[in-house]
């Protein structure tokens, strides 16, 4: 049998933290099928059922932990004993992941250990199939997937469909029945056929949302490592979000802080100007279609260089009305903060020795060569020798060029 081509994606981290052990196919010891809607239900009942299934399915797009709730509704709607979403890695011997609903059965596991013998491997995509479509009854009884796995957990009948998302990932949807429940009929096949386009759309939405969250997280990390703080205020001027760099600045309270959810400067004159800028930024989008951007400096009690602060309005659109709508962005820059990029990355980027990297890092943090030598406990002549070697390896000729090179290096983004 060929190996499965299913592809894993990271919403399982969300699922496992939210739902614990109740994912996957079940092992022996389950109970009988939970009562489900009658197969001869009135058209109005069926319409409501389909509406509920579609609503539960779209809930998954933004809340991956809701897969189990959707699968439970699908299982009971199709009079099944299990309903599962299958995702597998196409490489190596990984059996992949399975999220299952089982009507309250215990000992549910998160994978199918006999997946490589499944009769549905390699079937056509988007086509709803039952066991009768892929093998005879005698072949099924002799199939290892049945004898070693399904027989012991009371799976006699299987309804299956595989789909492929826009990025090429394949997913499987399975509903199973016990021998007592009987074979699947046209009602159940039609029900799943009706769900297929929604199933694919939700998977695409979830994949895209997860990708966007990853990219936004990377942007946030990059901004934080460049020591740029970002604070987001809502339409009332209250803080709703801050990146790690901003949080570090505000927690110190050196000239600027958060008081009862409001951003404020410590000194009265600075605070009056900051609040005016924030008020103007809140008002400006109502008067103009473009954003407002204004700047100021904020004095620090410590006597260090002032904070550089930029206030920018966030223009609303027709989809962003309501409470806690992002309305103002406040950018804070620590011009005196000293951070050290990972030494290993600097060594890799510029082919420096550990000692040369240490000298270059101190220079980029504003120390003179003599101060760097003292901080490192080495002789000035040794520091000068390191500097000559650094010049040779990096191609710069002056200390100011070296500082600029290091400050603009991507090595700073290696901090976590």
pLDDT tens string 384-416:
999 999 888 888 888 877 777 776 665 555 554
In the chain, domain spans:
11-213, 226-333, 343-414
The whole-number pLDDT of residue 314 equals: 81
The CA distance from 181 to 191, in Å, is 17
DSSP code of residue 322: S
194 CB-near residues (< 8 Å, 6+ apart) = 50
State phi, psi for 112 to the nearest 5 degrees.
-110, 100
Topology match between the domains 11-213 and 343-414: no
CATH dotted code for 11-213 = 3.30.450.80
The CA distance from 380 to 371, in Å, is 9
Could you tell me if 96 and 112 are in contact, meaning their C-beta atoms sit under 8 angstroms apart? yes
In three-state secondary structure terms, 89 is: coil
The CA distance from 366 to 406, in Å, is 12
The CA distance from 108 to 182, in Å, is 23
In tens digits, the chain (416 residues) has pLDDT values of: 333 444 444 443 433 333 333 333 333 333 333 444 445 544 555 888 899 999 999 998 888 889 999 999 999 999 999 999 987 644 445 556 788 888 876 556 677 777 788 899 888 999 999 999 999 999 999 999 999 989 988 999 999 999 998 888 889 999 999 999 999 999 999 999 999 999 999 999 988 887 766 666 666 555 555 567 889 998 889 998 888 888 889 999 999 999 999 999 999 999 999 999 999 988 876 655 556 788 899 999 998 888 889 998 887 654 444 556 788 889 987 666 555 566 777 777 788 898 998 898 888 777 889 989 999 999 999 999 999 998 888 888 888 777 777 766 655 555 54
In three-state secondary structure terms, 373 is: helix
Q: Read out DSSP for 309-358?
A: EEEEE----TT--STT---EEEEEE-SS------HHHHHHHHT--HHHHH
CA atoms 31, 35, 40, 41: torsion sign: negative
Q: Which CATH architecture group holds 343-414?
A: Orthogonal Bundle (1.10)
In CATH, which of 2.102.10.10, 3.40.50.1100, 3.30.450.20, 3.30.200.20 is domain 226-333? 3.30.450.20
Q: Which two tokens stand for residue 292?
A: 């407002």
- Give the distance, in angstroms, between the CA of residue 407 and the centroid of all CA atoms in the same chain: 30
């Amino acid at each position: 049998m060929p190996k499965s081509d299913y592809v894993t994606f990271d919403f399982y981290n969300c699922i496992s933290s939210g739902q614990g052990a109740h994912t996957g196919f079940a092992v022996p010891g389950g109970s009988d099928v939970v009562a489900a809607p009658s197969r001869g239900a009135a058209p109005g009942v069926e319409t409501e059922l389909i509406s509920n299934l579609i609503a539960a399915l779209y809930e998954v797009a933004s809340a991956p932990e809701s897969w189990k709730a959707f699968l439970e509704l699908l299982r009971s709607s199709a009079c099944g004993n299990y309903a599962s979403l299958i995702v597998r890695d196409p490489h190596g011997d990984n059996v992949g992941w399975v999220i299952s609903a089982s009507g309250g059965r215990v000992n549910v596991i998160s994978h199918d250990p006999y997946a490589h013998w499944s009769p549905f491997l390699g079937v056509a995509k988007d086509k709803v199939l039952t066991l009768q479509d892929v093998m005879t009854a005698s072949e099924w009884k002799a199939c290892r997937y049945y004898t070693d796995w399904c027989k012991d957990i009371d799976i006699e009948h299987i309804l299956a469909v595989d789909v492929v998302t826009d990025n090429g990932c394949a997913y499987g949807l399975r509903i199973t029945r016990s021998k007592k429940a009987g074979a699947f009929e046209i009602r159940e096949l039609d029900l799943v056929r009706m769900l297929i386009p929604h199933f694919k759309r939700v998977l695409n939405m979830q994949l895209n949302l997860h990708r966007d969250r990853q990219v936004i997280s990377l942007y946030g990390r990059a901004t934080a490592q460049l020591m740029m703080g970002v604070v987001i205020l809502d339409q009332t001027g209250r803080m709703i979000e801050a990146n790690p760099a901003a949080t570090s600045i505000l927690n110190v309270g050196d000239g600027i802080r958060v008081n009862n959810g409001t951003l404020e400067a410590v000194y009265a004159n600075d605070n009056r100007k900051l609040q005016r800028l924030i008020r103007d930024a809140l008002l400006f989008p109502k008067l103009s279609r473009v954003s407002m951007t204004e700047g100021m400096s904020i004095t620090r009690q410590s006597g260090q260089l002032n904070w550089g602060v930029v206030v920018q309005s966030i223009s609303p659109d027709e989809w962003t009305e309501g409470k806690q709508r992002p309305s103002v962005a406040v950018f804070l820059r620590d011009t005196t903060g000293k951070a050290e990029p990972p030494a290993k990355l600097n060594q890799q980027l510029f082919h420096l020795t550990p000692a040369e990297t240490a000298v270059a890092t101190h220079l980029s943090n504003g120390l003179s060569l003599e101060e760097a030598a003292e901080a490192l406990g080495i002789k000035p002549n040794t520091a000068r020798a390191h500097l000559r070697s650094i010049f040779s390896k990096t191609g710069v000729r002056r200390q100011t060029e070296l500082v600029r090179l290091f400050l603009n290096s991507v090595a700073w983004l290696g901090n976590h």
